Structure 1
């Protein structure tokens, strides 16, 4: 990898995903090598399986790969923020570590960014054809409908793991657990625009989901109220520097 700072950092949070690590890294390399200067930042959220060992092995052969490790489990939002803070690229692409997001969609998001206005700071993946169980799709549809009604973020799918956003804009957002589920609303609260981009969605390659529908619902209701409060209390003030 060039010693110069990469233009793009791909951040992947993982917890107990040992069998998905190597296939996903290979797909990221296939999608981005020769297209853009990039790095891959994996954040292991204190996995209990061999995920960290698999990442260490991959580091020997993949110069673009960096590995960060939480010494205690802290959750997906914290893992994403850890990766973004450590990233060297000005723009961040995120992927879920279970392989359901397709790295081949990252160039599509980059192309959308090139066509977009400068005030667009987030390009959110939109899983038009979900590859989940019927109950999970129903729960997601219900949650998206409630979120859209409360937050009015004009985003059909905030739960999609593949996103592209400006690093500086992300780090300026308020941080809280589960914030990654509300990035469009938080970006809009900060005065930026967001765009939803249709992307591919795949069945999980290996392992099991770390959440169930009840857990998502209970946490989501509390977080929705908190984000709605943040939006209601926000103030955007134009600033100009005096010569």
Structure 2
């Protein structure tokens, strides 16, 4: 399998940066980190865990994990800022040109990472987001129903041609992501935002697992109420936001100062 992942310049630029946002996931993270390393054993990678001000000892667990993993970097928010903020903090700190993301609860299967990388290797250059698609959800019936309803409404309004935007496992280009507008919960609208920016996106079927430890940080009602406000904002961006792509026609060599 060919991993055609461009590298960045610098003292050390891995082929892939894996960003894991986490809030109160102390019991899930050690096994998840082991699985990520096993799945990427043939890929030069770094892992960036972003602790969103957890209060369950996540910081101590990550410190212990980092002691035996030189490729593991740990960031910690000074105050709880949400999953989208944690994701953005990790991407900004990443050294690789391509980013893979997984939720810290262990429900995303790291064994799917090579599948996303292969999809990227087989795709055209203008596909900048590969979104996981949980074909078989391992959640409660009420959560599956709420997610199905939300995905239906979102798809009809945004026309993003994406069956599952809430899946935490994704692969995308770092520069394309950092060009997107940043707002709370923006991670749920990445396909629409990427398409607005002129890039293509692709959904890739992935595995989904039941949560083994802890509990979900979202409830169905709260997510629905926030989602209504988010959808209105994203619709405004799609209708009123202007994105222009410029091609350089005349280029000259210049000296770059250190």
- The normalised TM-score by structure 1 is 0.97
- SS of residue in 1 equivalent to 2:28: helix
Name the counterpart of 1:16. 24
Matches within 5 A, 1:49-60: 49-60=56-67
User: More helix per residue: 1 or 2?
Assistant: 1
Residue 202 of structure 1 aligns with which residue? 209
Shift of 1:238: 4.6
| Structure 2 unaligned residues grouped into runs of 5+ | 1-10, 251-258
**For residues 133 and 58 of structure 2, what CA distance do their matches in structure 1 show?**
28
Give the match for residue 109 of structure 1. Answer: 116
1:11-53, CA deviations, whole angstroms, 9 ceiling, x for partnerless residues? 00000001001000000011002x2110000000000111110
CA distance in 2, matches of 1:177, 1:239: 29
- The answer on 1:171 being equivalent to 2:178 is yes
Change (3 A) 1:207 1:114: same
Cα RMSD for the two superposed structures = 0.9
Q: How does 1:223-238 map to 2 (within 5 A)?
A: 223-238=230-245
Give ranges in structure 1 of 5+ residues lacking alignment. none
CA positional deviation for 1:63: 1.4
Which moves more between the two structures, 227-236 or 9-18? 227-236
Separation of aligned partners in 1, 2:102 and 2:247: 37
> Does residue 6 in structure 1 map to residue 14 in structure 2?
yes
How many matched pairs?
Answer: 240
In 2: Cα distance, 1:238 partner to 1:49 partner: 45
- TM-score, with normalisation over the residues of structure 2? 0.91
The list of structure 1 runs, each at least 4 consecutive aligned residues, that deviate by more than 2 angstroms after superposition, is 234-243
